[in-house]
Amino acid sequence: MPRTEESTLRAALELAARAVSVEHGSGLTTLIGDVALLVGADTASLARIVLDGRDEVAVLWPTSRAGAAVQTLAAYPDSAATHPVRAPLLRSVRERRPWILPIQLSEVSSELGWRSTALGRDVLGAVTDQLCLPLDYDGTVVTALSLTRFGGVFGPPDRDLLALGARHLRAAVARTRGTRILALRLSPAIAWTPVCFAHGAGSPPGEPASGTEADRSALVSPREREVLDLVAEGLTDAAIGRRLGLATSTVSKHLHRVYRRHHLGNRAVATHWWVERRMP
């Protein structure tokens, strides 16, 4: 049954409640599974990936995948770089605007394009769609949660759920800083290794950690702040235009610039993003 807006919000609250209980690396495995079940994914992984290199480690869910993965993923190291999601993530880092919202395989690549990659053809042939949520960046190293389906694609409610829960998932990863969890090294060679998944970023990657006026100016322009404040109050573009003395089309342009700059998928996600970041 398709998820409604109400059920998406309920699931987001449940996700947040589960995320806040995570204090040690071992709790991340359970959390990965919780997110996968809430979103309706068949498998999931928490991975640390060098976007411009070959190093990659991952915690896999369900845990029963781990043993089989050593055999089934033997060709992964030589094909991992062909994943279609890697290029936009690396580009966003190099442009100093790290991607922070869910990025969907079926939106950056057609099915034919996915099957034409070495990864989609030789290793992950059963995969029909994936959702990737970047949680932390350290240069070109990204820690990300990836959710996979073996039939069908993820829908907007699934992306919205991940976007709404992103802040809590990042906080859970940050709280586990210094604790180790056994993960599978996927590249440059398959091997088991203990890792720490948090680099220590308490704020969403690529964004200021504090709430000063200077920080806010780095995020949006003064006019964009005015528009976003009124969006957060529930005003339409037309109503915002009347309040600020702007044409409705001008208000829409301001909003769409913010959407593009910060990779915000829609008005609801932008509102949530702004409410969490504006001055108290």
pLDDT in tens, 126-180: 999 999 999 988 889 999 999 999 999 999 999 999 998 999 999 998 888 777 7
Show which of 167, 195, 223 is a domain's final residue.
Answer: 195
Q: 99 with 86: CB under 8 angstroms?
A: no
Region for residue 152 given its phi and psi (left: phi exceeds 0; alpha: psi -120 to 50; beta: otherwise): left
Residues 77 and 15 in one domain: yes
Give the residue from 45, 50, 81 showing the smallest Cα distance to 66.
Answer: 45
DSSP bridge partners of 6: none
Nearby residues of 277 by Cβ (< 8 Å), 6 or more positions away: 207, 211, 216, 219
| DSSP state letter for 80 | G
Show which of 168, 195, 222 is a domain's final residue.
Answer: 195
Q: Give the CATH number for residue 242.
A: 1.10.10.10
Number of separate domains in the chain: 2
pLDDT at residue 201, as a whole number: 38
The H or E element that residue 147 is part of is strand 141-149
CA torsion sign for 145, 137, 23, 192 is positive
pLDDT at residue 63, as a whole number: 77
pLDDT at residue 277, as a whole number: 65
d(CA 275, CA 136): 21
pTM of the model: 0.70
The alpha carbon torsion through 259, 264, 266, 272 (nearest 10 deg) reads -110
What tokens were used for 23? 């204090």
pLDDT at residue 198, as a whole number: 62
**Is 218 a member of any domain?**
yes
pLDDT at residue 75, as a whole number: 86
Range of the domain at 259: 213-277
Residues 97 and 123 in one domain: yes
With a cut of 70, which residues of the chain have pLDDT below it? 1-3, 66-71, 198-219, 263, 276-280
d(CA 198, CA 137): 9
Q: Give the CATH number for residue 111.
A: 3.30.450.40
pLDDT at residue 207, as a whole number: 41
pLDDT at residue 215, as a whole number: 39
The H or E element that residue 178 is part of is none
